[in-house]
Amino acid sequence: MSRLLAPITLFLSVILACLVTIVCSIPMIIAGVIKLLLPIPVVWRSISRFCNVMMYCWSCGLAVLLRLNPFLKWDVQGLEGLSKKNWYLLICNHRSWADIVVLCVLFRKHIPVNKYFLKQQLAWVPFLGLACWALDMPFMRRYSRSYLIRHPEKRGKDVETTRRSCEKFRLWPTTIVNFVEGSRLTKEKRQQSRSPYQNLLPPKAAGIAMALNVLGKQFDKMLNVTLCYPENNQNPFYAMLSGKLTCIVVRINLIPVDKGLHGDYVKDKNFKRQFQLWLNTIWHDKDDVITAIYKEYGITEDNR
């Protein structure tokens, strides 16, 4: 019966998710146009607050959709001690499009509205791209090493984008979210990147290093979030839309932001090496956490 209902559930879920997104994004798009036409600080701040409220409403709408799945269970640890009055830098592994939904729904009542580092291509997605622009979310254009060799003038452009975007978040409590791997995990990508981790891609440090350098004194804590879908690991997003998602596992660790994490990642080579070593250590621990979760749920390496 579940197999027969899956296509119907998928169709209804996509329709409902699109409706929630459109209803919440249209006011943000209109507000963004006003923000563009009236670049006045008072107007800009008011519109940004309004867009944050609409982002919260979007998260609540997604939470309602997830509750329609009677088989879904949450296994969450580490939500204690969080506050909407603080600034957070949230780093997370990236497994699926479902990750964004999970983070929005899970943290909506605990921390300020999430601001994601997004790929440049998402700016052209109807409704969603314009709404994210109105929310001041930074769009990152990542360049390959071969491209940078041919176009050295583009080197450091993504870091500069990070710096400009982070400057906007000084005014009120914000959560900056960075999927440090830069791409969703697949077996092919893990092999191509020669990843030393069993369950992760190598982390990219430049984005969070720049965020810490610009807003380091305002960040109260860093949130190290580990996401896992042990029973639907092959395609969590499809499982979420089709009503087959049965378990979401989230582990949250608060990391102090000390002075050693503040420095010039671009020009200071010693700081760059130390920062990469620090991040790689966190990623090794995260890899062990995911392995332990799989073991707890009886998932073998062949089924990951």
Nearest to 133 by CA among 222, 32, 39: 32
Distances (CA, A) of 74 to 43, 134, 249, 286: 40, 31, 6, 19
Give the number of domains in the chain: 1
What does pLDDT average to in each consecutive run of 10 residues of the chain (304 residues)?
A: 66 88 88 84 87 94 91 94 91 94 96 84 73 79 62 62 71 88 86 91 87 77 94 89 92 88 84 93 96 90 69
pLDDT the model gives residue 186:
84
CA distance 204 to 276: 8
pLDDT the model gives residue 262:
84
pLDDT the model gives residue 282:
95
- 10: domain CATH number? 3.40.1130
CA distance 82 to 74: 18
The domain of 95 spans 2-303
pLDDT the model gives residue 144:
58
Q: Supply the DSSP symbol for 258.
A: -
Q: For the packed helices 41-67 and 98-107, what is the interaxial angle rounded to 10 degrees?
A: 100
The CA-based diameter of the chain, rounded to the nearest angstrom, is 60
pLDDT the model gives residue 38:
85
pLDDT the model gives residue 213:
79
CA distance 248 to 230: 8
pLDDT the model gives residue 142:
62
